[in-house]
Amino acid sequence: MKAPARLVGFALIANPEVASPEGEQPMPQTPAEFRDKFRVGENLLHRSDGWTVSLRPGACTLGACVIGADRPHVSLADIDAGEAAALVDAVGWFEARVRAAFDADKFNYLALMMVDDHLHFHALPRYAAPRSAGGVAWSDPGWPGQPDLKHANTADPQALAAVRAALTGMPGA
């Protein structure tokens, strides 16, 4: 049975007509460049039709992920109806798994795309109190305000493997 998806704290900030602070338009990223930067291959958790869910490198909160489009898009308005439905499925998978594994209090979604000009969402579980996973005490210093994207919880490869296993249900995944 699918868990219903709820978007909480959704922000989409992307305008290809607005120049970067240096006065230049960002160059569109290919899906392959995006996957390389976010190490999707090693951090992959889930695939749906048109979207991948992967652990976010430098996790600012426990279970922070990136939900990225498989096709090259620079605007949410560019996705088709099938991709829109698959995005809801990907978000539902993410929320259900993180809620079950780590008891997240809320979820925030950011689609900034000012540096990485490829359609993706930073999917951030939010926590009113620290959580423990993989032998690491995970904090959310931005709670109850905006997420602190510069904060990175220190986790070794074994701790990240434990988080991955908790989210996928596969030991050592």
122-134 pLDDT, tens digit each: 899 999 999 999 9
Domain 23-168 coded CATH 2.40.30.10: no
pLDDT of 12 strictly over 70: no
In this predicted model, which residue has the larger pLDDT, 91 or 22?
91
In this prediction, residues 95-105 reach a mean pLDDT of: 96
Nearest to residue 34, comparing CAs of 111, 126, 147, 149? 111
Q: How far apart are CA 40 and CA 55, in angstroms?
A: 8
Tell me the whole-structure pTM to 2 decimals.
Answer: 0.77
Task: Copy the structure tokens of residue 140.
Answer: 């959310």
- Give the model's pLDDT for residue 70: 82
- Give the model's pLDDT for residue 26: 52
pLDDT of 15 strictly over 70: no
In this prediction, residues 33-57 reach a mean pLDDT of: 80
Domain spans in the chain, listed from the N-terminal domain onward: 23-168
Residue type for position 168: T
Q: Cα–chain-centroid distance for residue 100?
A: 17
In this prediction, residues 129-140 reach a mean pLDDT of: 94
